[in-house]
Amino acid sequence: MPDRFLKKYPILLAAGSSEGTVEIWQIDGTKETAIAGHEASVLAVSFSPKGDAIASGSADGEVKLWRRNGRSGFHSDWKTFKGHGAQVFDLAFSPDGHLLASASGDGTFKIWQVDSGILIKTFKGFKAGVFGVSFMPEGEAIASALGDGTIKLWYRDGICLRTLQGHKDIVYSVRFSPDGNKLVSASRDGTVKLWIRNSAWGRGGTVRTLTGHRNAAIDACFSPDGRRIASASADGTAKLWVLDGTCLRTFEGHRDVVYSVSFSPDGKLLASASEDKTIKLWTRKGRELKTFHSSKGSLYSINFSYVF
């Protein structure tokens, strides 16, 4: 896919940096802006479902919302949500965009109302920290990735639906599939696990373990059609998997830890963000299309959005 075609791709790419900025690029590699406002590394970024805002979570414990101004520009922080006492590791919008969940090293995850900034609910008591959070596509349930090696599923009112056990170390990431019937998790134990429910999440299910990374698996996500999984690892690679656990290909090229992976909205492209201060854009067949270089430090989190 030559640059002239990438230029026609109406997609933005956002990443959080170690210098406290949110960096935004057009898909062809043109740098849009670097939004400053946090006092420490930005560990999490997430576009709203409509693409009209970006949420960022930082090692300073704050969550900020940045509203889009026109097709590519973003205002300085629109809202700041304060309440966490440690790093914010992950963020997730509800499917309708009205709620935002934040996961933190302070042993809690919180749900905020986006428009008002009101704190709706705090889930607490996780002494080893909360590293990941994900809304079920229907919005009925929330999954949390915990430092004790478990995944917990919750109703939004705070009732625990189920605890998923199987990882042997910190679970860094958890994501629902587009149909809500599966979860994928990435762990410091070096594995990615696919959890498939039989009926209700509270009743049994199937677990598949995806092995192949030589170090911690830090992030994992589903493709938009739900048929593929991408993972990022401290071994410096990203991998693409099919749901039966087969590794289709390994993406090599980064010189350091790969912290985050994300599919483009149409599923044709994969991006990986690394400690080496680069984002790499790949085809699903493994061809490297583009390298985005950050002038603002290492890159910890990455997210795509269409330009509406």
What is the domain range of residue 113?
14-304
Confidence check: pLDDT of 3 > 60:
no
The verdict on residue 262 lying in a domain is yes
Confidence check: pLDDT of 5 > 70:
no
Tell me, what's the pLDDT at 111?
98
Tell me, what's the pLDDT at 78?
80
The verdict on residue 9 lying in a domain is no
* SS3 sequence of 55-93: EEEECCCCEEEEEEECCCEECCCCEEECCCCCCEEEEEE
| pLDDT, tens only, 41-68 | 999 999 999 988 999 999 999 999 998 8
Residues shown for the chain = 308
Domains: count for the chain: 1
As a whole number, mean pLDDT of residues 274-282 equals 96
pTM of structure: 0.93
**Secondary structure element (H or E) that encloses residue 209, with its range:** strand 206-210
Tell me, what's the pLDDT at 70?
63
The verdict on residue 191 lying in a domain is yes
Tokens in use for 136? 């079920």
Tell me, what's the pLDDT at 67?
87
| pLDDT, tens only, 71-126 | 556 665 689 999 999 999 999 999 999 999 999 999 999 999 999 999 999 999 99
The verdict on residue 3 lying in a domain is no
pLDDT-derived band at 264 (thresholds 50, 70, 90) equals very high
Tell me, what's the pLDDT at 136?
96
The CATH number linked to 190 is 2.130.10.10
Tell me, what's the pLDDT at 57?
98
Residues forming beta bridges with residue 92, ordered by sequence position: 101
The verdict on residue 105 lying in a domain is yes
The verdict on residue 237 lying in a domain is yes
71 or 157, higher pLDDT: 157
The verdict on residue 176 lying in a domain is yes
Q: For the chain, what is the mean pLDDT? A: 91
> What does the alpha-carbon distance between residue 305 and residue 290 come to, in Å, rounded to a whole number?
17
* Three-state SS at 266: coil
